[in-house]
């Protein structure tokens, strides 16, 4: 990282952030894709499984629709972050990124602008989804809501940065889809979003323990059930969940900066 | 803070806006540039002319700070290449492909770019307004870029590169994809800018007629600089006029020209070339001597294409692609 950055060069990151937002507003299909798809997932899967499944280890009052809801919020973040990072790959193909790379601002500042843009969009949509919590039978208190939004912000940063690490190394969006299916979606499946750890076979449980998203998922569940933690299945505690999630975001961002600096152009 | 608003100028008294010193670039399997040296004077419009694969794109990318040279050095407005950030502040870059965002308006594109260069919104607004007037884009200020014609998009691209008032403007194949009318219009704009702003223009091109209009031309062939000078100087160096002879057996034709008439003739891409002052005076003798072997004789003043052939022994367009 550069030792000193003249103050006005923060404008560069700001400019990239604003562009990300403007583009999003002008491409309705992205909004639909990132928001409706998880909603449909939730209604169909949650609704479909509701009668057959009870989340293992949870108290009797937690329905599958309710259990799956926080997982859907995480999925919204994941999808938006993915869309935001696909746009980085497209920027390189279209030539926009070249124009950014010849500007006198350090790469980490470029990455900061991109991450902030992607994370803001992810957070906004996550919050919209979150506001549907009462419909899912999730008891949302003001304190719980605030905590959930804060956790979503950290998770949005982590996921967007992860996407950028990949995007800076990819030359095609096809390659990106392959990575998404192999890495990002499985890490969502194994985060406790879809099924709880309790009752899963040992290899799956090990993978879940190793998956940093598991801890973000746990933090989000704990925030949503702020006032009624007794309804939750066994989960990592607050300190562990929070520290792993913050560390995950910081590491992902550092990795994104590193990838951007390694790439010649 | 104060230093931020003082925008780069070429150092006073500095005569060379760009210097390139023994630049070498190797890709894994081939040499793209070998020991290329030249300098561009302040206020010049300077062309890097060459066929695709000649090395001009590599040179452009090195000067634009997107690629590190394997060896050698360069400076922009007196700033050495090692200070990449300073070089970037002194450089306006126009790429061959659009680097504007089609989903943003003209103004939003300019604002975004100005801020990437650390300019405040008010500064961008002032300069954008001036440039939009000059480029006849004022009415389109709030239109999405994707709704503009190709020529207009090029002008936005140019306005964007000038916002931070760089002393040196670097353009990669600015004419590619433009129809001839717009191409001339765009070049006229560059000439106007050079006259009104303190601007040095370096562009890559494979269009002869574009290079003809530049002050000086550097011809690149297979990574080497084969000729450098004003179009007039370069053409004068060819050695007079050019005679092209066609026939069924070019090698035999060339041989007979040498043997019977003592002319330095060579075969280039299936035709025999003779370069010599006042060569047209020889046409009757040549026709009389070679008669049956000849199918056509073409006489011309040398063009930049002839300059290229003169230095490389190859036609401009038959270079293998990159």
Q: What is the mean predicted confidence (pLDDT) over B92-106?
A: 93
Residue B319, pLDDT > 70, answer no
The label of the residue with tokens 């604003």 reads: A18
Cα–Cα distance for residue pair B173/B57, rounded to 1 Å = 9
* Non-local CB neighbours of A131 within 8 Å, separated by 6+ positions: none
Q: Which residues of A touch B85 (CB under 8 A)?
A: 2, 104, 106
For residue B92, what pLDDT is reported? 96
For residue B288, what pLDDT is reported? 86
Q: Rounded to the nearest 5°, which phi and psi values hold at B207? A: -95, 120
Nearest residue to A125 via CA among A256, A214, A25: A25
Record: contact B108-A22, CB cut-off 8 A? yes
Q: What is the mean predicted confidence (pLDDT) over A40-56?
A: 76
**pLDDT band at residue B99, thresholds of 50, 70 and 90?**
very high
Cα atoms found within 13 Å of the Cα of residue B250, Cβ hemisphere only:
15
In terms of phi and psi (left: phi > 0; alpha: psi -120 to 50; beta: otherwise), the region of A197 is alpha
Q: What is the mean predicted confidence (pLDDT) over A254-259?
A: 94
Q: What is the mean predicted confidence (pLDDT) over A102-128?
A: 92
Cβ contact A172:A89 at 8 Å: yes
Q: Which residues of A touch B104 (CB under 8 A)?
A: 19, 22-23
Record: contact B104-A94, CB cut-off 8 A? no
Residue of B nearest to A19 (CA): B112
Q: A159-171, pLDDT tens digit by residue?
A: 999 989 888 887 7
Residue B321, pLDDT > 60, answer no
Residue B231, pLDDT > 50, answer yes
* Non-local CB neighbours of A141 within 8 Å, separated by 6+ positions: A226, A227
Cβ contact B7:B164 at 8 Å: yes
Beta strands B271-276 and B241-247: pairing type?
antiparallel
Q: Which residues of A touch B88 (CB under 8 A)?
A: 102-104
Residue B144, pLDDT > 80, answer yes
Record: contact A104-B118, CB cut-off 8 A? yes
The two tokens of residue A71 are 């997982």
For residue A7, what pLDDT is reported? 55
**pLDDT band at residue B317, thresholds of 50, 70 and 90?**
low
Buried b (16+ CB within 10 A) or exposed e, B246-269: ebeebeebbebbeeeeebebbbbe
Residue B222, pLDDT > 60, answer yes
Q: Which residues of B touch A264 (CB under 8 A)?
A: 66-68
**pLDDT band at residue A215, thresholds of 50, 70 and 90?**
very high
For residue A50, what pLDDT is reported? 76
Record: contact B118-A11, CB cut-off 8 A? yes
For residue B179, what pLDDT is reported? 82
Q: Which residues of A touch B64 (CB under 8 A)?
A: 102
For residue A228, what pLDDT is reported? 82
Q: ipTM score of the complex?
A: 0.86
Cα–Cα distance for residue pair A235/A251, rounded to 1 Å = 23
DSSP code of A164?
H
For residue A255, what pLDDT is reported? 95
Q: What is the mean predicted confidence (pLDDT) over B299-315?
A: 84
Looking at the complex, report in whole angstroms how far the Cα of residue A5 sits from the nearest Cα belonging to chain B.
11
For residue B4, what pLDDT is reported? 38
Residue A138, pLDDT > 90, answer no
Cα–Cα distance for residue pair A31/A21, rounded to 1 Å = 11
Residue B1, pLDDT > 50, answer no
Interface of A with B (CB under 8 A): 2, 6-9, 11-12, 14-16, 18-19, 22-23, 26-27, 94-106, 264-265
- Cβ atoms within 10 Å of B150's Cβ, excluding its own: 12
**pLDDT band at residue B7, thresholds of 50, 70 and 90?**
very low
Record: contact B99-A7, CB cut-off 8 A? no
Average pLDDT, chain A: 86
User: Quick one: three-class SS letters along chain B?
Assistant: CHHHHCCCCCCCCCCEEEEEEEEEEECCCCEEEEEEEEEEECCCEEEEECCCCCCHHHHHHHHCCCCCCCEEEEEECCEECCCHHHHHHCEEEECCCCCCCCCCEHHHHHHHHHHHCCCCHHHHHHHHHHHHHHCCCHHHCCCEHHHCCHHHHHHHHHHHHHCCCCCEEEEECCCCCCCHHHHHHHHHHHHHHHHHCCCEEEEEECCHHHHHCCCEEEEEECCEEEEEECHHHHHHHCCCEEEEEEECCHHHHHHHHHHHHCCCEEEECCEEEEEECCHHHHHHHHHHHHHHHEEEEEEECCCHHHHHHHHHCCCHHHCCCC
Record: contact A96-B99, CB cut-off 8 A? yes
Cα–Cα distance for residue pair B5/A203, rounded to 1 Å = 60
Pick from A9, A14, A99: CB nearest B99? A99
**pLDDT band at residue A60, thresholds of 50, 70 and 90?**
low
Considering only residues B13 and B275, tell me which one the structure prediction assigns the higher pLDDT. B275
Residue B94, pLDDT > 60, answer yes
Q: A139-149, pLDDT tens digit by residue?
A: 888 999 999 99
Average pLDDT, chain B: 88
Q: Which residues of B touch A25 (CB under 8 A)?
A: none
* Inter-chain contacts counted by CB atoms under 8 A, chains A and B: 93
Pick from B89, B93, B115: CB nearest A11? B115
DSSP code of A133?
G
Residue B101, pLDDT > 80, answer yes
């Amino acid at each position: 990282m550069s030792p000193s950055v003249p103050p006005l060069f923060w404008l560069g990151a700001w400019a990239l952030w604003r562009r990300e937002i403007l583009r999003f507003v002008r491409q309705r299909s992205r909004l639909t894709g990132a928001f409706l798809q998880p909603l449909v997932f939730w209604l169909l899967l949650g609704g479909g499984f509701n009668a057959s499944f009870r989340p293992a280890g949870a108290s009797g009052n937690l329905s599958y629709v309710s259990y799956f809801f926080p997982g859907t919020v995480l999925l919204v973040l994941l999808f938006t972050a993915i869309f935001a990072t696909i746009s980085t790959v497209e920027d390189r193909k279209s030539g926009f990124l070249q124009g950014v790379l010849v500007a006198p601002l350090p790469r980490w500042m470029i990455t900061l602008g991109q991450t902030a843009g992607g994370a803001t969009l992810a957070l906004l949509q996550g919050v919209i989804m979150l506001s549907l919590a009462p419909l899912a039978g999730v008891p949302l208190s003001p304190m719980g809501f605030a905590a959930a939004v804060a956790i979503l912000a950290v998770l949005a940063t982590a996921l967007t940065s992860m996407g950028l690490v990949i995007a800076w190394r990819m030359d095609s969006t096809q390659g990106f889809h392959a990575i998404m299916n192999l890495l990002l979606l499985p890490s969502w499946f194994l985060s406790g979003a879809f099924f709880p750890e309790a009752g899963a076979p040992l290899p799956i449980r090990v993978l879940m323990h190793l998956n940093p998203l598991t801890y973000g998922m746990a933090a989000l569940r704990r925030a949503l059930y702020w006032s009624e933690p007794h309804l939750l299945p066994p989960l990592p505690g607050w300190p562990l969940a929070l520290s792993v999630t913050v560390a995950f975001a910081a590491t992902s961002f550092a990795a994104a900066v590193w990838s951007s600096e390694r790439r010649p152009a | 803070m104060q230093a931020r608003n003082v925008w780069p100028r070429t150092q006073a008294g500095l005569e060379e806006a760009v210097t390139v010193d023994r630049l070498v670039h190797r890709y894994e399997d081939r040499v793209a540039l070998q020991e290329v040296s030249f300098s561009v004077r302040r206020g010049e419009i300077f062309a890097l002319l060459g066929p695709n694969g000649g090395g001009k794109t590599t040179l452009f990318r090195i000067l634009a700070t997107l690629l590190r040279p394997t060896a050698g050095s360069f400076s922009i407005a007196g700033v050495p290449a090692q200070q990449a950030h300073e070089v970037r502040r002194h450089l306006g870059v126009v790429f061959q492909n659009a680097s504007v965002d089609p989903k943003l308006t003209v103004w939003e594109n300019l604002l975004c770019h100005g801020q990437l260069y650390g300019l405040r919104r008010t500064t961008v607004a002032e300069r954008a307004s001036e440039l939009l007037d000059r480029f006849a884009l004022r009415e389109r200020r709030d239109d999405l870029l994707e709704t503009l014609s190709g020529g207009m998009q090029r002008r936005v691209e140019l306005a964007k590169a000038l916002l931070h008032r760089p002393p040196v403007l670097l353009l990669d194949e600015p004419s590619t994809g433009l129809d001839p009318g717009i191409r001339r219009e765009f070049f006229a704009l560059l000439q106007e800018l050079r006259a009104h702003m303190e601007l040095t223009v370096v562009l890559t091109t494979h269009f002869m007629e574009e290079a003809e209009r530049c002050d000086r031309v550097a011809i690149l062939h297979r990574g080497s600089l084969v000729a450098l000078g004003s179009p007039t100087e370069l053409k004068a160096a060819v050695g007079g006029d050019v005679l092209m002879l066609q026939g069924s057996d070019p090698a035999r034709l060339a041989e007979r020209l040498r043997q019977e008439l003592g002319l330095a003739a060579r075969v280039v891409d299936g035709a025999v070339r003779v370069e010599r002052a006042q060569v047209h005076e020889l046409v009757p003798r040549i026709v009389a001597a070679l008669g049956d072997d000849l199918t056509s004789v073409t006489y011309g003043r040398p063009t930049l294409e002839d300059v290229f052939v003169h230095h490389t022994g190859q036609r401009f367009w038959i270079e293998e692609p990159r």
